[in-house]
Amino acid sequence: MSVNVIFGSDAGATKAVATRIAKHTNGRAIDIKAASVADFENCSLLILGSPTYGAGDLQTDWEAHLDKLQQARLTGKKVALFGTGDQVSYPDCFVDAMGVLYDLVVEQGATVVGFTATAGYDHTGSRAERDGQFVGLPLDQDNQSSKTEKRITEWVSRLS
Ligand SMILES: Cc1cc2nc3c(=O)[nH]c(=O)nc-3n(C[C@H](O)[C@H](O)[C@H](O)COP(=O)(O)O)c2cc1C
C-alpha cells in the first residue's frame, strides 16, 4: 500500500503528527505547499490533515492551495482524514476543518475510511461530526497529547 499524508500546519503541531502518521503507515508526509496534484492521485491511500483556525476554517496553506485538491481525480479513491484542534478553547468548533476536507473529498467521489467514535473527547460541537462520529481522527496536541500515540496506532490499524 502506498500512502501519501498531505498536511498544512501553521505552528508545527500538525506537521509533527503528519510525520508520525507517515511513519506508522510507511507513507510520505507532504506539506500542502509543496504537494502536486499527482501526490493526491498517485497513492493507494490518501491521508489529509489540517488544523482548524479562525471560526472553524481550514489552515491558510490549505486555503491557498485548495485548487490542487479540487483538480485531483478522487473518484473511488480511499481517503482518510485527521484534524488537529483544541477542544478546551474551541469546544463548539472542534476540528471543524476536518469536516471541511470531508465535504470536499466526498463531493469529488472519494470513499472516506477511518471514522472515529466521539468517546474520550470533550466538545460541544464540530463540523467534523456526522451521525455521531468524527469523519476522521481528531488529535488535540494542546490538551491530550499523551493520548496521540495510541490514537494514531488504533486509527491506522483500521485504515487498511
Ligand atoms: C487563533 C487560533 C484559532 C483556533 N481555532 C480553532 C478552532 O476553531 N477549532 C479547533 O479545534 N482548534 C482551533 N485552534 C487550535 C489549533 O487548531 C491547534 O492548536 C492546532 O494543533 C494547531 O496546529 P498547527 O501547530 O499545525 O498550526 C485555534 C488556534 C489558534 C491559535
Range(s) of the domain holding residue 69: 3-157
CATH (domain of 12)? 3.40.50.360
Q: Which residue's CA is minimally distant from atom 29 of ligand 1?
A: 53
Specify the pLDDT at position 1: 83
* Ligand 1 near 31 CB (within 6 A): no
How many domains, in total, are found in the chain? 1
Residue 3 predicted with pLDDT over 90: yes
Specify the ligand 1 atom closest to the Cα of 95.
11
* Ligand 1 near 92 CB (within 6 A): no
Cα–Cα distances in angstroms (integers) from residue 75 to residues 29, 34, 46, 112, in the given order: 22, 23, 12, 11
For residues 142 and 35, give the distance between their C-alpha atoms in angstroms, rounded to a whole number: 27
pLDDT in tens, 78-115: 999 999 999 999 999 999 999 999 999 999 999 999 99
Question: By the 8 A CB rule, do 15 and 31 touch?
Answer: yes
For residues 69 and 48, give the distance between their C-alpha atoms in angstroms, rounded to a whole number: 10
For residues 147 and 5, give the distance between their C-alpha atoms in angstroms, rounded to a whole number: 20
Q: Cα(85) to centroid of ligand 1, in Å? A: 5
Closest CA to 9 of 54, 58, 59: 59
